[in-house]
Amino acid sequence: MKKELTAEEYLQRVLTGKVSDSCPVRRTLELLSGKWRTHIIYELCKHGTCRFGELKKAVPRITNTMLSTTLRDLEEVGIVHREQFNEIPPHVEYSLTEKGKALLPVFTELARWGEKYI
């Protein structure tokens, strides 16, 4: 079983140059990078399940194309689940996967940092 890395151990790796391109922090930040990704994840955290139109209203300055693209990207990396309902009228609902929900403690820590320093 792999030992969890402490903050001090990670900092030591950074300072000694032992952090590679496959660094989990770097890969996570790349996964969350982009203007809209974190906002969409935040809205799905708040609401649980949302239709496209509900997300569009919750993120008002995003275009339909950018919302679709971002949702597709988040679905590809396993953070968002897309469920299509073939009824009249057809609709699609989006929610966080278990992998997406596992990001909640990360956002909690960011909130704590923001409350303390911003």
pLDDT tens profile 31-70: 889 899 999 999 999 999 999 999 999 998 999 999 999 9
Q: Tell me: pLDDT of 104 over 80.
A: yes
Q: Is the pLDDT of residue 21 over 70?
A: no
Which residues have C-beta within 8 Å of that of residue 14, sequence separation ≥ 6?
none
Comparing 6 with 103, the larger pLDDT belongs to: 103
Six-digit token pair at 87?
A: 């009824």
Count Cβ neighbours within 10 Å for each residue of 22-52 and write b for 16 or more, e otherwise. Answer: eeeeeeeeeebeeebbebbbebbeeeeebeb
pTM of the model: 0.81
Task: For residue 23, name the pLDDT band (cuts at 50, 70, 90).
Answer: confident
**24-36 average pLDDT score:** 87
Which residues have C-beta within 8 Å of that of residue 13, sequence separation ≥ 6? 19
Domain ranges in the chain? 26-117
| Top-confidence residue, 107 or 83 | 83
Q: Give the residue with greater pLDDT, 79 vs 20.
A: 79
- Lowest average pLDDT, out of 68-77, 89-98, 102-111, goes to 102-111
- Whether 1 shows a pLDDT value over 60: the answer reads no
Residue 84's nearest CA partner among 40, 44, 52 is 52
The closest of 91, 92, 111, 98 to 38, measured between CA atoms, is: 111
Token digits of residue 95? 């929610």
Into which CATH architecture does domain 26-117 fall? Orthogonal Bundle (1.10)
